[in-house]
Amino acid sequence: MRLFNFLTKKKLLLLNILLTLYIATNMVGGERGLISYFEKKKKQQNLVEREQLLSEKLNEFEKKNLLLSTNLNLDYVDKLYREKLKFGKKDEIIITLK
């Protein structure tokens, strides 16, 4: 009975305590909370690393494409021809390393 009388008299205090607990739990574990922030930050870092890797691959393909375009680089074509078709001249010995 004393607890009930105390709570009825201190409604504002009880409301402030509950509101503070609600805000604190959402700040830590909510959708926009601290845990979610670190998860999103880690995901963003992974995406940045993946973007860098893909841009490096794209630059590599652009360089190879440039070598095979109108200004044909015969050394590069010869290298591709030998690697892909395992082709050599009569007096050459081809050694493949793995």
Highest mean pLDDT among 15-24, 26-35, 74-83: 15-24
Cα 56 to Cα 48: distance, rounded to the nearest angstrom: 12
86: left (phi over 0), alpha (psi -120 to 50) or beta: left
If one counts every other C-beta atom within 10 angstroms of the C-beta of residue 73, the result is 13
Q: Quickly list DSSP for 35-67.
A: HHHHHHHHHHHHHHHHHHHHHHHHHHHHHHHHH
72-86 tens-digit pLDDT: 778 888 888 877 877
Task: Note the pLDDT of residue 40.
Answer: 93
The torsion angle over the Cα atoms of residues 65, 70, 75 and 80, rounded to 10 degrees, is: 40
35-72 tens-digit pLDDT: 889 999 999 999 999 999 999 999 999 988 887 777 77
* Domain edges within the chain: 44-88
Higher per-residue confidence, 10 vs 97: 10
